[in-house]
Amino acid sequence: MKIGKLPESVLKRCVLKKTNNVRDEVIVGAAIGEDCAAVQLEPDEVMVMSTDPITGTVKDIGELAVHITANDIACSGAEIFGIMLTILLPDKTLEEELSLIMSDVYDACNALNIQIVGGHTEVTKVVNSPLVSVTGVGKVKKDKLLSTGSVKPGMDIVMTKAIALEGTSIIAKEKESELLTHFPEQMIDKAKSFDKEILITKEAMLIKDMAVSLHDVTEGGIYGALWEMAEASGVGLDIELKKINVRQESIEICEYYKINPYKLISSGCLLIAAEDGNKIVNTLKDNDIEAVVIGKATDSNDRRLLNGDDVRFIETPGKDELYKVIGGRE
């Protein structure tokens, strides 16, 4: 495709044909000539918005873009109902590549009952690989809105699933050929499949009424997410290092590339602060979702990692470990 706005025929064929009209809240949605979307909310509802660009991977980029934004919205306790979608493509991108991205976006949105309410698609020399940016729009009753900075001393800190799921999956896909020279195919296939666990909307909706704060573990890994939750709330942390779940596939791949899984992007892992962490763990386990209490918030300024008699401190988040393996990031 040539640089510039898409021809109307391509826009209709590859993009608008793969948008959907599934939500009553949307009054004006995606269409030729419409530059804005319009939504209607109830008087006691608030709108929640979040935006994320995905640049660190090309494979399954459409699905990943939807899931990452859906996770952000879910962490506020809200239901996502719409997305605005921007796709920037490098010069000479094939129409089939755009169609594949849109198919992934369309399927992910349909699975989550999300309407694609608008956006922009363009071929440009500014990028050298596809960039997909999603702005999510959600709704929640005003008195049910959650924020990261609501943690109080004494509250339990719970984590779900495992750390490094997203990073492991991305590396396994992008570096598959190299990894297969060192590891069994079965292991790499398992690592690639971790992307099927990136979505955290189910667990967030299950326990949102029992939680005080939810925070998805993204760039910077579990250490970064713990720091952000503590910093936003003005609390300290005592976290048991050995209770943080990390899968063997992640350990093997991280050791191979000499990176730290605790600092690797970890979408799929949800941090939860609550008065009764065990109640949340039991609720999630009843729904076949891994969860464990990993520590407590404290009235100290220290964010401590406890490993037997060894005590270390969580530092301000730095560059994600994924950068050391592949270029770009979301």
**Once rounded to an integer, what is the mean pLDDT over residues 241-246?**
98
- More confidently predicted of 272 and 61: 272
Q: Note the pLDDT tens digit of each residue in 93-128.
A: 999 999 999 999 999 999 999 999 999 999 999 999
**CA dist., res. 33 & res. 105, Å (int):** 21
pLDDT bracket for residue 328 (50, 70, 90): very low
Antiparallel, parallel or unpaired: β 45-54 and 26-28: unpaired
Beta carbons within 8 Å of 248's beta carbon, 6+ residues apart: none
Is 148-324 a domain of CATH 3.40.190.80? no
**CA dist., res. 204 & res. 60, Å (int):** 23
Which pLDDT belongs to residue 152?
A: 97
Domain with CATH 3.30.1330.10 in the chain: 4-144
**Once rounded to an integer, what is the mean pLDDT over residues 286-306?**
97
Which pLDDT belongs to residue 58?
A: 66
**4-144 topology per CATH:** 60s Ribosomal Protein L30; Chain: A; (3.30.1330)
pLDDT bracket for residue 315 (50, 70, 90): confident
- More confidently predicted of 34 and 71: 71
**CA dist., res. 176 & res. 184, Å (int):** 11
**Once rounded to an integer, what is the mean pLDDT over residues 154-179?**
96
Which pLDDT belongs to residue 131?
A: 94
Mean pLDDT of the chain: 92
